[in-house]
Amino acid sequence: MSTDIPLLDSALLDCYGRFITLLPEDVLRDHIHLCFILQEAYWWYCDKWCAKHDDLPKMTLAQFIHLVCNDCPIIKPYVPQDDLPGLLSSWKVYSRGIPVRGAIILSRDLKRVLLVQSCNSKKWSFPRGKVDQDEDDMTCAAREVMEETGLSVGNCMHNSVYVQNTRNDGTNLPDASVDVKLYIVPCFDDSLKVCPVSKYEISGHAWIELDKLKAGNPGVSTYQVRPFVEKVIDFVRCFKRGRFKSQFPQQYAYYKRCFKGESSETRNTSQDQKNAPGESKSGKKVASDETVPYIVRGSKEIGTCGSIHALEEGENASSDYEGKIVPKMYRNFKSRKQHVSKLMDRQNNETFGENARWSPDEMFRINTEKFGVVSTYEGTFNL
C-alpha cells in the first residue's frame, strides 16, 4: 500500500506542534529525555492517526524516532545523523531499567486471570507498563490497566498485596533486568467489557484459566506471565481461607456468598476439618505453613514480596521473629532466647528434679570417676 505523503506530513506536523515545538534547549540536548518525549509523540501518532488512516505507514518506535530526527527542523541541529544509532542504543538500555507496574486481575470465581497482547508482539502478559516520572506505584498500575483494558481497578487494589519479580528480557546487556511489581485484584467482575484506551497498543485480551497456566498449556505465549503463576495460585489458596479478608473485605464477603461451596473454610468432612491449615484442635488460630505472596499485619509490612512464612494476623510477635521464618517449635515463645531458656529448664528438671534418678552430687562423682573431670563449683544448686 502506497503512503499518502500529504497525510503523513499532516500527522508529523501535528506531533511536532503538540510535543516538540515548545521544548526547552536543555531537553533537546538531553537525548534520553528527548527520546521519552518522542515516545509520547509516537503513541499519539499511532492512536490518533494510524488507527483512523490505513494508508499511513505503520512504524516501530525506533523507525519513528529515526524519521522525526531526520525530518523535524527543531530537532535536527541537536541530533546529528551520525549520533542516531548511539542515541537509540543508549535510550533502550536506560528504558529497560525503569520499573514496571501493573495488576493481576482475577475473575469473580478466582479461576481465571486477564491477559493482554501487544500489537507489536505475539506474547501475552498482565496489563502493565513503565512508571512515569514522580508517579507512585499504585497510580502507575491503575493507569496502565485503564490504558490497556479500559477497566478501573484503582479502588480494587491494596498497596501491600502484590507480587514482585525481576525478569530478564533475554538480552545480554548487563542492566537488562526489569523490576516488575503487579498488584493483585481478586474477584473482579469479568463480565465487564474490555476496551483498551490506547487502541494501537493492545491487539487482544483473554481470560485465561490458572490451571492451564500452571500446566503450561494456555494456548498462547505467556513468557512474561510464568514467573508469577505459582505466587498467584498461592494467593488464591490463602484468599479462600480468609488470610486476606482484612485487605479485601468486600471481595472476600462476595466470594464467601457466591462460591462458599468451593472454599476450604466450609468443607464439612471431619478429615478436612482436622487437617485445615491455620487451625489447632481447639479451634484457635495458629501460624500456618502455607507460603503466601505477601502478608501484612495492620499497616506494618511483615515480609517482602515472594513466598514467605508469616505469623497469622493478630498474633503477638516480638522483634526477634518479626518478618522472619518461624519454625513451629518456636511459635509459642516470644523469642528464640525464651524458648531455649524454657527448654533447658525442662531438661534440668527431668534430670535433677523430684522424680530424677540422680542428684547433682552424683553426677559430678560419676564425671570424676569416668572422665577425670573435677567440678570447682562451690555454690548452691536451685532447681
The residues, any chain, with a CB within 8 Å of residue 159's CB and separated by 6 or more, are 137, 138, 183
Q: What local confidence, expressed as pLDDT, does residue 375 receive?
A: 59
Pairing, β 112-118 against β 202-209: antiparallel
Evaluate whether 79 touches 161 at the Cβ level (below 8 Å): no
pLDDT confidence bin for 351, thresholds 50/70/90: low
Which of 73-82, 267-276, 332-341 bottoms out in mean pLDDT, i.e. has the lowest? 267-276
Per-residue pLDDT at 324 exceeds 70: no
The topology (CATH level 3) of 99-259 is: Nucleoside Triphosphate Pyrophosphohydrolase (3.90.79)
Per-residue pLDDT at 357 exceeds 90: no
Domain with CATH 1.10.10.1050 in the chain: 7-94
- Conformational region of residue 190, where left means phi above 0, alpha means psi within -120 to 50, and beta covers everything else: alpha
pLDDT in tens, 129-178: 999 888 999 999 999 999 999 999 999 999 999 998 765 544 443 334 67
Q: What is the DSSP string of 321-353?
A: TTTS---GGGTTSSSHHHHHHHHHHHHHHHHHS
Helix (H) or strand (E) holding 371: helix 360-371
Q: What local confidence, expressed as pLDDT, does residue 141 receive?
A: 96
Q: What local confidence, expressed as pLDDT, does residue 288 receive?
A: 35
pLDDT confidence bin for 360, thresholds 50/70/90: low
User: What share of residues in the chain are helix, strand, coil (percent, to 5)?
Assistant: 40, 15, 45
pLDDT in tens, 188-223: 999 999 988 876 778 889 999 999 898 887 777 778
pLDDT in tens, 20-63: 999 999 999 999 999 999 999 999 999 899 888 988 998 989 99
Closest residue by Cα to residue 121 from 222, 207, 228, 43: 222
Q: What local confidence, expressed as pLDDT, does residue 338 receive?
A: 52
Q: What local confidence, expressed as pLDDT, does residue 104 receive?
A: 97
The residues, any chain, with a CB within 8 Å of residue 300's CB and separated by 6 or more, are none
CA distances from 221 to 137, 208, 289 (A): 27, 12, 33
The topology (CATH level 3) of 7-94 is: Arc Repressor Mutant, subunit A (1.10.10)
Domain with CATH 3.90.79.10 in the chain: 99-259
